[in-house]
Amino acid sequence: MADLARTPRQIGTIIQRARKKRCWTQSDLAARAGLRQATISTIETAEKPAKLESILAVLAALDMEFQIAPRSQGDKTEIEDLF
């Protein structure tokens, strides 16, 4: 199942989970992505904005991809169907 991220923090959390699932340290991921460990930390914590190029390099190193899709929304009738 694909993860959905709408904020930088959510992107960071998804990246962190994928890294930990592979039992990689931030340094391991940084080496595979051609970045510094501090950049990985910045992306995972979303403490400040990260460059799109850096995020794409991290995703490639994790064998993940970035997709753009229309924002999902609940249909107003769905809530009415509950009652």
Q: Write down the pTM of the prediction.
A: 0.83
CATH of the domain at 28: 1.10.260.40
Q: At what angle do helices 52-61 and 8-21 cross, to 10 degrees?
A: 20
**Does residue 19 form part of some domain?**
yes
Give long-range contacts, CB 8 A cutoff, 24+ apart: 45-49.
45/9, 45/12, 46/7, 46/8, 46/9, 46/11, 46/12, 49/8
Count of domains for the chain: 1
In a domain, 29, yes or no: yes
Mean pLDDT of 47-65: 96
In a domain, 49, yes or no: yes
In sequence order, the 6+-apart residues with CB closer than 8 A to the CB of 64 are 18
23 domain residue, yes or no: yes
Residue 81 pLDDT more than 80?
no
Structural domain of 59? 8-66
- On whether residue 27 sits in a domain, the answer given is yes
For residues 18 and 64, the answer to whether their CB atoms sit within 8 Å is: yes
Judge whether 82 lies within some domain: no
Whether residue 21 contacts residue 10, with contact meaning beta carbons closer than 8 Å, is answered with no
Question: Is residue 76 very low, low, confident or very high in pLDDT (cuts 50, 70, 90)?
Answer: low
